[in-house]
Chains A and B, each alone.
Chain A
Amino acid sequence: MNGSRAASLTVAWRFAALRVEGFPWIPTAILSTIALVAIFANVLAPYNPEVGVLGDRFRPPAWQAGGSEAHLLGTDHVGRDVLSRLIFGARVSMVVGFTAVIVAGILGTTLGILSGYLGGWVDQVIMRVTDTWLALPALTFAIFLAAVVGPSEMNIVIILGAVYWTRYARVIRGEVLSLRERDFVRLAIVAGCSKKTIMRRHILPNVLNSAIVLGTLMLGVVIVTEAALSFLGVGVPPPKPAWGLMLADGKKGLMAGYWWLTVLPGLCIMLMVLSANLLGDWLRVKLDPQLRQL
């Protein structure tokens, strides 16, 4: 027997055991940096992101004329340090992004498994709900919900989770439908396992890969939506820094030539979403052939 140990159920092992071929170093580095920045925001940010000095408004970045090293990336319309706001904004994006993805993931995967495995009226009900949900344009729906429940970081997470679980449900249900016919599931029935046990022990671990890949891809979507919500004023409430909100605020200054107020947060959003997508794509390719050969 060749001795290569396989990935066990924990997510960390799953990543570590993957062979290092074509590994997306840069995207992972970018995401890791953003994560670290988010975690150590307190230490890294030179200023309080929420409080500004009105006399210091609209300072350009340090390398431009009129800029100073005191504010490396300039200040915004109320004198708050852009760099600090970007750093703390990373925290918001990361927290909201990851949490929303996890909430959507748990909800969607559970419903997908129930729908796919139990079939019958459960499947019908869940699928009709999913169809209806999907028919609603995500952003509009999110705005509507935000208007109803009022903006707060917690609410945004729940809203994003509530909007995006349907993608998971669809995909996972499809996988469960084919898993259900596999011999080892039949044999579990023959062994006398209950439906609940089978879903937990046999179905769930085998759809986890897809769920994780989907999660990585959804991260980008979720973050963009959060940014859009913030941009429209129904996202994370000010003065808490969120990249989307920074975009909205900076919009006012664009005509006056204060480019750094929009370009810099936009760049951050772009980098994070792009990295998440590239990582997700690589993961999907990496994990799929394994699934097939197993």
Chain B
Amino acid sequence: MTPLLEARGLTKHFTVGGGLLGRGGGVVRAVDDVTFSIEPGRTLGVVGESGCGKTTTAKLVLRLEKPTAGQILFANQDVAGLEGDGLRAYRKSVQAVFQDPFASLNPRMRVDSIIAEPLVTHERLDAPAVAARVSKLLDVVGLPARSRDLFPHEFSGGQRQRIAIARALALSPRLVVLDEPVSALDVSIRAQILNLLRDLQRELGLAYLFIAHDLAAVAHMSHVIAVMYLGRIVEIGEALRVATAPQHPYTQALFAAALPAHPDERRDETVLMGEVPSPLNPPAGCRFNPRCPKVMPVCSQEEPKLKLAEGRQVACHLF
């Protein structure tokens, strides 16, 4: 099956200011040679900590940024080269839901205008048709019909996130980028929203790029998991395998650091030392080597490439 979205060698470097004429500044290697693919109707989960590049990857997929190198292919077309009608078609197919439910909605617009915005931007529908679609979307996300006349501040965080989801679905996209969709919500609401997202995926055949730092949520929602560290993918493979038997030392540390679900749960007490280094100055060789409990001499000399091991791709000299 042809993947819906493919990233090949995706790279994004930012130059950070410095010096009088903008020279002598550093380069932030936010995303470096990242390759992954998303199948139609499936979820790719991306985990990683600050500075790993997952948000930048989302922005590249959404064409809010242009890559420095590499490509993103959507239905075999290079996304970076799209303009005009091609770009419009892409925007119709790829939508997003962001983390902060309070910042995602224009406080001055009513809910029906917010949800209808993608529709009126792309399609020439008359008012009753738009209204009908908005009603249907509100129903799909579980909000009452009278929500349409209200303003965002009259809703709670979880409800606003539903509005954001309704808007993302307005044009029947094929891929939705979910950037920390439940992190800012109350714990008791998270399950509601995650269930909703899964139901929608099943009913509408949506593909998701699910970015989160909550490992259990990612493991629950994803079919494939990619683990990122300082701009690179260190491990990528089928979700269950990566979550239950992580191979890369960083992935192992990440999952070991996750909080237990029960006081008696056995937790590996080895805690990862050190700070996440700055993406301005990544360590030589494997970027994880200064903190790696299994470091070897070769690790500080050569960057490992992703290779197949234990049923998934791992970038580590141990394999």
Contact = CB atoms under 8 A, between A and B. Distances in A.
B150 A191 contact: no
Interface string B105-136: 11111000000011001100000000000000
B137 to A, nearest CB: 14
B153 A1 contact: no
A197 interface: yes
Contacts of B151: 5-6
A184 B151 CA distance: 14
A192 B167 CA distance: 12
Nearest to A184: B106
A114 to B, nearest CB: 19
A4 B159 CA distance: 17
B96 A188 contact: no
Interface in B152-198: 152-155, 159, 164, 167
A6 B153 contact: yes
A191 B105 CA distance: 13
Contact of A294 (B150, B152, B164): B152
A5 B167 CA distance: 22
B91 A184 contact: no
Given A191-B121, A192-B122, A197-B121, A183 B98 contact: yes
A294 B117 contact: no
A184 B118 contact: no
Interface residues of A, number: 25
A270 B315 CA distance: 75
Contacts of A5: 151
Interface string B44-69: 00000000000000000010100000
B167 A187 contact: yes
Contact of A2 (B92, B104, B117, B154): B154
B213 to A, nearest CB: 18
A3 B153 CA distance: 11
A17 B107 CA distance: 15
Contacts of B154: 1-4, 6
B108 A188 contact: no
- Which interface class (under 10, 10 to 19, 20 to 34, 35 or more) fits B? 20 to 34
B121 A184 contact: no
A195 interface: no
Contacts of B220: none
A9 interface: yes
Interface in A125-155: none
Interface string B252-281: 000000000000000000000000000000
A197 B104 CA distance: 17
B96 A187 contact: yes
Nearest to B122: A192
A191 B98 contact: no
A122 interface: no
A186 B64 contact: yes
B95 A191 contact: yes
A182 interface: yes
Contacts of A201: 106, 109, 117
B122 to A, nearest CB: 6
B98 A192 contact: no
Interface string A260-294: 00000000000000000000000000000000011
A197 B107 CA distance: 16
A190 interface: yes
Contacts of A57: none
Contact of A192 (B92, B104, B150, B164): B92
A182 B108 CA distance: 14
Interface string A1-17: 11111100100000000
Nearest to A205: B108
Interface string A173-206: 0000000001110111111110001000110011
A293 B99 CA distance: 17
Nearest to B89: A192
A205 B107 CA distance: 9
A6 B109 CA distance: 10
Contacts of B107: 206, 294
B103 interface: yes
Contacts of B122: 192
Contact of B118 (A2, A183, A191, A205): A191
B298 to A, nearest CB: 42
B39 interface: no
Given A183-B98, A186-B64, A294-B152, A193 B121 contact: yes
A248 to B, nearest CB: 45
6 contacts: A182-B103, A187-B164, A190-B91, A191-B167, A293-B153, A294-B152
Top 9 A-B pairs, shortest CB-CB distance: A294-B107, A192-B91, A205-B108, A191-B118, A183-B103, A6-B151, A183-B104, A183-B98, A184-B106
Given A2-B154, A190-B96, A197-B121, 18 more contacts: A3-B154, A184-B104, A184-B106, A187-B104, A188-B106, A188-B117, A190-B91, A190-B94, A191-B91, A191-B121, A191-B167, A192-B92, A192-B121, A193-B117, A201-B109, A202-B106, A205-B109, A206-B107
Interface of B: 62, 64, 87-88, 91-92, 94-96, 98-100, 102-109, 117-118, 121-122, 147, 150-155, 159, 164, 167
